[in-house]
Structure 1
Amino acid sequence: MARPTALPPPDADARRSVRPVICYPVDSLPRPDIAAFQAARAGWRMVDEVTVPPRAARGFSVPAGHFFRITSVEGPQVGDLNLWSQDLSERFYSGKTRALHGSHLTTGDRLWSGFPGLRPMATITDDSLGWYGIDADGGSVHDVIGTRCDPYTHNLLSGGQYHRCCHSNLTRAVAAARDLSLPRAEALVHDVLNVFMCTGFTRDTGQYFMKASPVRPGDFLEFWAEIDLFGALSACPGGDCGGEHSSDAAACHPLLVQVFRPQAAPEGWAPPAPNGYDQSHGGHDPV
């Protein structure tokens, strides 16, 4: 459907040609020493392993100072990842992560918590799909622009009651892992990191698109837990998301989460403190 347009003003070209400015320059942030993190894998020991079945989700825990990997094990499969602090007081803030690092994440990028903590929860230490970059359609992998497939949008657009979407999968997984009611668990579910998903925005309409993921068995995304974490991962009902977004027709496969304890953390590493803003907000507004 064509959008209504207004007539351009005489200086339209000049208005369009202004120089873009990066909203949040991150030059002042310390860069993680990825080589030191990767060296810390020597002699690591796997301490936990969770298989996420197709069209389902599972919860898992990662102590601070441990690695965790999400791996494709049988076929192309996208995963929707939620992260919280272990006590559930902080959760992953996909919007601020996107503002700081971009629409798609890879090695060296961090997953940030929401206000008032606003600190790194996890650092991406390796990405076997880091070669993909940005393709000719403007697509890339591991996005923080999609929200997660959910039963509410499904009902709005298609009708019916579909329960195997990522939002519901994550809700059930959180409820089971933390002994919560479904309503309480649902309130904790939030926007995700779309692991392995290949997405972008169309140039002509600006619409969010997906295309078949380039992930293959053996591909992985690896993280360092900066704080004590609780996570939940859904194996999306869209499979590789090359066709339908939420369906029982797409070929779906399990995902594997593994947690590794290193022999030692990189020298100088310590869990990050919560954000230093004093939360005074300038005091009360004058009456």
Structure 2
Amino acid sequence: MSSPQSLTLRLNPQQLDLLQRCIANGDAADLQSLAQRAIREMKNNSVTSAKPAAPAKPDLSGLSDQRQLLATRILEPGTGKALELMKGQVLRIEQVEGGQCADFNCFNLHDYKEFMHVGRTRTLHGFNPGPGDFLWSAPPRERAMMFILADTVRANDVMFPRCSANLYESVYGFHKHTNCHDIQSEAQREYGLTPDDVHDSFNLFMNTVIAGERGRIERQTSKAGDHVDMLALMDLLAVPNVCGADIMRTSNFSLKPLKAEIYAASERDLASVPALADWSTQRKPADFRQPTIKADRPLKRDTDYVPQFTNAPLVSQDYVVELSAQEIDTLESFGLHPYYGTDRAAALRDVMYSWWEKRYMD
């Protein structure tokens, strides 16, 4: 058995703040007892969740589900369309023949620099977002842009990037080929956007799986009439397109049309959206130190620039924690040597924040 030992935790103010909030919540009396609790509960796999329960689903039984159809458009193979979609309207992307992938992008109609971000969406909702999930804008905005109301296939993807002209030239030898980036670029050009403004798509009706260390595209399973309904939570420029991949499984080696319909949302649609918190860190241009959009392409250094990084400089302080011989043995049993070597204090810090993740995030 090991001997009792004093470990010196090095914590910066941000790290300390998180642990102090645990103490304020009643998780422990002080840093010492919090460390001991973390060791004990991580060993016994007995961490209890303090994550707030999901809000109860609203009662929608008395609300109308009738929608008013406002517009319909057929998207032919090789094309897409930029559509103005107002807050409270529903966009339906529907299979005409079945078996066709659609790429989808959207922008804040009043500020194109706020756009859908598949990375943020993937982090919050996984690789295959579906009904009940949101489409989120990129940092630093990070606002819910759309809410997925319905999906009759449940085969959407946020792993794969849009296909591009270079993909078809470098892999398949085509100098010209239909591709999602160019289709998106052309559709968005109607609103003054450039090819550089295209961003990774939400891939509708794209059947993907994880295979080893990579994603893999499988054959389509959608049929005529299958659809995805998305509710706009702000005024948007919504841009669906028929995926241009006709030599891949993406759309079963053929291209087919898709139908886009815009509806006025029903009472039931609007009431089904879960309440979302407003966070001070969902920043708007008025919050930016540099709110002006560059009008030229070359990057030039600002000679008057003075760094203002958040919370910098980060200065760590030492906090002593006394552990018994048994607690030291338990700490050793977690097998953190490959990461921290003989630095038991660093291993303890790992255990404490891993405990926090289990208690407040899992």
TM-score of Structure 1 vs Structure 2, range by shorter chain: 0.7 to 0.9
Code of the residue aligned with 1:94 in structure 2: it is V
1:73-222 aligned at under 5 Å gives the runs 73-87=96-110, 88-130=112-154, 141-176=155-190, 178=191, 180=192, 184-203=193-212, 206-222=213-229
RMSD over aligned Cα atoms: 3.3
| Structure 1 residues 94 and 41, CA gap change in structure 2 (3 angstroms) | farther
TM superposition shift of 1:202 = 1.2
Q: 1:49 and 2:72 equivalent?
A: yes
- Please give the secondary structure, in 2, of the residue aligned with 1:57: coil
| Structure 1 residues 238 and 267, CA gap change in structure 2 (3 angstroms) | closer
- Please give the secondary structure, in 1, of the residue aligned with 2:113: coil
Code of the residue aligned with 2:235 in structure 1: it is D
Code of the residue aligned with 2:184 in structure 1: it is L
Deviation track 1:58-110 (CA, whole Å, cap 9, x = no partner) reads 11121111111110012310001011111213111101110111000111011
**More helix by proportion, 1 or 2?**
2
- Please give the secondary structure, in 1, of the residue aligned with 2:140: coil
Question: 1:260: which partner in 2?
Answer: 263
Task: Specify which of 262, 279, 282 is matched with residue 310 of structure 2.
Answer: 282
Question: 2:318: which partner in 1?
Answer: none
Question: 2:88: which partner in 1?
Answer: 65
Code of the residue aligned with 1:146 in structure 2: it is F
Deviation track 1:226-247 (CA, whole Å, cap 9, x = no partner) reads 11111111111225952789xx
Structure with higher Rg: it is 2
Please report the TM-score for the alignment, with normalisation by the length of structure 2: 0.59
Aligned residues, how many?
Answer: 240
| Contact 2:220–2:251 (8 Å) recurs in 1 | no
| Structure 1 residues 160 and 238, CA gap change in structure 2 (3 angstroms) | closer
Structure 1 unmatched ranges of 5 or more: 1-24, 131-140
Cα distance in 2 for residues equivalent to 1:148 and 1:32: 37
1:21-40 aligned at under 5 Å gives the runs 33=57, 36=60
- Please give the secondary structure, in 1, of the residue aligned with 2:206: strand
